[in-house]
Amino acid sequence: KRSVGDELEILRDKYKVTAFGFVDPIFNIPIGHDEVICREMIRRKLGLQWTAWFNERHLTDNLLALIKQAGCIRMEFSSDSVSDATLKKLRKNITAQDLKNSYQLAKKYDIDVTYNFMLNGPGETLLSQLQLAVFVLKAKPALRGRLKLPGLFMVITRIYPHTELRQLAIQKRLISEGNDLLAPVFYNPVPLKYVANSMIFFLKTLWRIKHTAEKLLLPAR
């Protein structure tokens, strides 16, 4: 905790950093480490704003109160799905209820939230894709402007070497045994391929319209 606190003080005092993000590691795993870091930031009165990736299962009222006090302004989640069946297939340790809890806590403590999902992965069904749409439709009015969805918060799963997904893709004849996967290849089998592609096209279009409208509404400088 001291080394983290020391580094943050250097970034603030020497390089005038006012905001930063914890990236790659999940901030609230291992359990307890997150609270130690937050208490150190609070003790030093760093006054920095920050973001981090979190695991939905290990969110508590106590943790949210701490990260809020320590300066966290946005929680990011790589949820991949909102379907219990699909989450189990993906070997995620979270449930649909954990995701619901995550945005309810974010609303309670007034913290921004970002979710990332993968479409048409192993175990995906038309129902699970509809559940994803319902989740977003419920989270948006609950969080309002606190729900910060990137332009591609729904993507197709990329296939990587030495993974079970690669073996499954070979079985489904999506790739050949000799494909080294150096060039990006994505797991998107039919028939849900067409649903997933349509959803992503629709989202991209909405994103472009949103940003175009924002630029047109910006005051002239």
User: Percentage of the chain surpassing pLDDT 90?
Assistant: 79
pLDDT of res. 221:
46
Q: How many CB atoms lie within 10 A of CB 56?
A: 24
Cα 107 to Cα 97: distance, rounded to the nearest angstrom: 15
Quote the pLDDT of residue 219: 63
CA distance 113 to 111: 7
Q: 């920095």: which residue's tokens? A: 48
pTM of the predicted model as reported, rounded to 2 decimal places: 0.88
Sort strands 186-187 and 154-158 into parallel, antiparallel or unpaired: antiparallel
pLDDT mean for each 10 residues of the chain (221 residues): 91 97 91 95 97 96 97 96 93 96 97 95 92 91 89 89 95 95 96 93 83 73 46
Q: What pLDDT score does 214 carry?
A: 73
